[in-house]
Copies of this chain bind each other. A is one copy, B any other.
Amino acid sequence: MIIVGELINSTRKKIKEAMEKNDSEYIRNLAIKQDEAGADFIDVNAGAFVYDEIEKLAWAINEIQDVTKKPLAIDSPRVEAMAMGLKLHKNGKPMINSITKESERWKQVFPLAVETPALVLGLCIDDNGIPDEADDRVKIADHIINDLVKGGKNIQDIAIDPLTTPLSVNTTYGMTVINTIKGVKKNFPDVKLITGLSNISYGLPSRKQVNRAFMVSCMVNGLDGALIDPLDSVMMSIIFAAEAILNKDPYCGNFLKAYRKGLVVKE
């Protein structure tokens, strides 16, 4: 699984405060912790700063890159922010989080998305919003993928987010995500499926258990990566366990190595 550490996001109050006062130590510490906990990408988002997003994002990117060699997921819908983030990026292949099929955004971001070697995450949303049905989400994904490939993008550098919406709004939404994952994988086996899962449990009690059950449900159906809190060691344990169960971890080697490192809980 591709683990995208989601913690450095300005929509979280403490992160916004840390970014406001340029609290290097707080941001760096979270980057180090997520790195050590097994994150493959460190997400960085400064979108809560309406007027100085780019400045705050640049500051955070530099802080994070001073303490980790992990690539970053540059998290912004704005093409200027993405372009700046890609320029500052140093280590490995970054991720662009994210693009959509909304006409205005697409026009702006398409040239950058095909030009950059970064992994580009496309959301299943267009001018009509997020469809309720999996088939319609798969159609949007098809358009994103086909257009990017026609533009010259390497298909292995494309990821799709099926978009997780709350079960409390509609009990069909779990299966919508699962069927979107299956549908995109069927059409494009080389495209990666990556999503943030915690929306599934919005409005329900026992959110952590719902999120864990949803993680496994999606992994069984082909999910390649997730935006999560990698410091949630129970969730990380569930992910390592699911990889072994799905025969993607010979001799349970990664599971046992993670356990010895303290990344998998004892009970």
Contacts and interface: CB of A to CB of B under 8 A. Distances in A.
Given A216-B220, A252-B167, A246 B174 contact: yes
A255 B206 CA distance: 10
Contact of A241 (B172, B206, B246): B206
A267 B168 CA distance: 17
Nearest to A265: B206
A173 to B, nearest CB: 9
| A244, A251, A252 pick with most chain B CB within 10 angstroms | A244
The complex is assembled from copies of this chain, and their number is 2
Given A205-B259, A205-B264, A252-B204, A244 B167 contact: yes
A59 interface: no
Contacts of A251: 171
A175 interface: yes
Interface string A155-185: 0000000000001100110110010000000
| A209, A212, A234, A242 pick with most chain B CB within 10 angstroms | A209
Interface in A193-227: 200-201, 204-210, 212-214, 216-217, 220-221
Given A171-B247, A220-B220, A247-B174, A241 B266 contact: no
Contacts of A209: 234, 237-238, 241, 264-265, 267
A207 B265 CA distance: 9
A249 interface: yes
A245 B267 contact: no
Given A174-B246, A213-B238, 14 more contacts: A175-B246, A178-B220, A201-B241, A204-B256, A205-B266, A206-B259, A206-B266, A206-B267, A209-B241, A209-B264, A210-B245, A212-B241, A220-B220, A220-B221
Nearest to A267: B208
A221 B217 CA distance: 9
A167 to B, nearest CB: 5
A129 interface: no
A217 B245 contact: yes
A168 B216 contact: no
A209 B212 CA distance: 10
B244 A174 contact: yes
A234 to B, nearest CB: 7
A260 to B, nearest CB: 9
